[in-house]
Structure 1
Amino acid sequence: MRDFAAEASQVESVPIATSGDVVKARQSVRTLAQKSGLSLVNQTKLVTAASELGRNTLIYGGGGVARTGLVTVNGRSGVWVQFEDEGPGIPDQELALTDGWTSGSGMGLGLSGARRLVDEFELRTAPGAGTTVSVVKWVR
């Protein structure tokens, strides 16, 4: 995936240490989604993905940071969202992206569901090295 962090405008960082912080991150994503011109359906998809990823950052990563920004590439505009933690990492990425798999008590739709809701999805993780998930939803 392209390094959207360097190209993003109106970047906002939201520390995630509590469930209230996940709500703040979700609100930041919603605001940018509205500004970007995403349709209401695509706003909802992006906000839902961000909510799932934020929850994962808090519960499985022990907290971290969410970054959001507007991006424009080759005339296309969209919203970039990144969640980063310094938690234990994910030992088996392929398994973690399988529908129904969960490392906790959830339904197992967090990562795989988030991936289906966005246009671009990148997962970077390693055992003991934390996890970074970056997503983009493009305006159509």
Structure 2
Amino acid sequence: MTTITVHPEGWKPAKGYANGMIGDGRVLFVGGQIGWTPDQVFVAKDFIGQMQQALLNIRAIVRAAGGDVADIVRLTWFVTDKQEYLAHQKQVGAAYRDVMGYHFPAMTMVVVSALVEDEARIEIEATAVLSR
């Protein structure tokens, strides 16, 4: 799979995400993943633990489809507490890199009032472009 990061000339550098990505291959749409284990158990009750588990779930799905994290071209994050996210930026970055390495696709974050699972503090959906 080939991906190209798109960054308009003259724009300030994107920090921790890409403004755009171009991919050539099969498209995998990963439904929103929350911070529970494959057994649908919330082991982590905190934002960082749930974020890391949601990313691990996404990585597992992409790998099950024959890809890897470098094939992910977009992540959409839904968080229930903007202040909690902002207060833990350093831990967010460390937990992200633990799972995703230094791969930063196009990302969007949306603050929502609640998620369907009451214990969930974050939900992340992904799009990946896999080799043909």
Range of TM-score over shorter length: 0.3 to 0.5
Relative to the length of structure 1, the TM-score reads: 0.35
Query: Which has the higher relative contact order, 1 or 2, with Cα contacts under 8 A spaced 6 or more apart?
Result: 2
Query: Is the radius of gyration larger for structure 1 or structure 2?
Result: 2
